[in-house]
Amino acid sequence: MLVLLAVVVLVAGLVVRVNPLAVVLASAATAGLAAGLPFLDLLARFGAAFNANKFVTAVFLVIPTIGLLERHGLQERAKQLMRGLRGITLGRLLLAYLLARQLTSAVGLTQLGGQVTMVRPMLAPMAEAAAEKDGSGHDSDRAKALAAATDNIGLFFGEDIFLAIGSILLMKGVMEGYGMKAEPFALSMWAVPTAIAALLIHGTRVMLLDRRKRPGADAAAAAAENSSTDSAA
């Protein structure tokens, strides 16, 4: 029954709003010690769990790093980069990212993008700056929403081409459960036409953004251009 003290520690830590990671570690340590595990054996198990789940523990390293970079002006740097490029538009930026996101996801590199690691710190501010510069007149919220949607579409329709992705293995398991033989390679090949269709449909959608100017867009673009010129001076 002493092992149940781990539940008490977990609930109490969350109620008083202690760092969740520290609460989980304290709860696990309480359960191990209450079960009679030697302290060194408990540490060994913690180390084995850490080593076996690097992809989980990496989250606790990546997110603080991104937050630190944002605090030191990562988003502003991304905007300055867009303002300094000639011929860049919101549509062209999103189309290039969509293509890159699909291609990298198709070979299994799904972690190269993402809402937390790429969209918020870099793509969204770049999209805002591109919308200000190209004169399309799209506000910052719409630009950020389109950036997030582009990342989702590129990942969703690109990752199924990679035959070792979880969705392919899930489809294989479900189909074999109904007595239908399914090879992962064949399933991934059937995902290619869908990925191409998604690229064409969403790519056309974002490119049409450059032709849809909202009222007052030219004045806003001129103001943004003057602002960037003044900053450079």
Query: Alpha helices, DSSP H only, in the chain?
Result: 5-15, 20-34, 39-52, 54-57, 59-71, 74-84, 90-106, 124-134, 140-158, 166-177, 184-208, 217-232
Cβ–Cβ < 8 Å for 113, 104: yes
Alpha-carbon span 189 to 151, nearest angstrom: 22
Residue 232: predicted pLDDT: 47
User: CA torsion sign, 181 to 185 to 186 to 188?
Assistant: positive
The confidence score (pLDDT) of residue 169 equals 82
Q: What is the pLDDT of residue 61?
A: 67
Residue-level pLDDT at 62: 72
Look at the pTM and tell me if it is higher than 0.85: no
Q: Distance between CA atoms of 36 and 27, rounded to whole angstroms? A: 15
One DSSP character per residue, 192-228 reads HHHHHHHHHHHHHHHHHGGG-PPTTHHHHHHHHHHHH
Tell the burial category of 217 from Cβ atoms under 10 Å away from its Cβ (0-12, 13-18, 19+): middle
Structural domain spans, the chain: 2-57, 78-232
pLDDT value for 178: 86
Tokens of 47: 């180390």
**C-alpha to C-alpha distance for 127 and 145, rounded to whole angstroms:** 10
pLDDT, residue 127, reads 93
Q: For the chain (length 233 residues), average pLDDT per consecutive 10?
A: 85 86 86 88 80 57 78 90 88 95 91 87 92 78 93 93 83 86 87 94 92 57 52 48
Q: Which pLDDT score is estimated for 229?
A: 52
Instruction: Give the pLDDT score at 148.
Output: 95
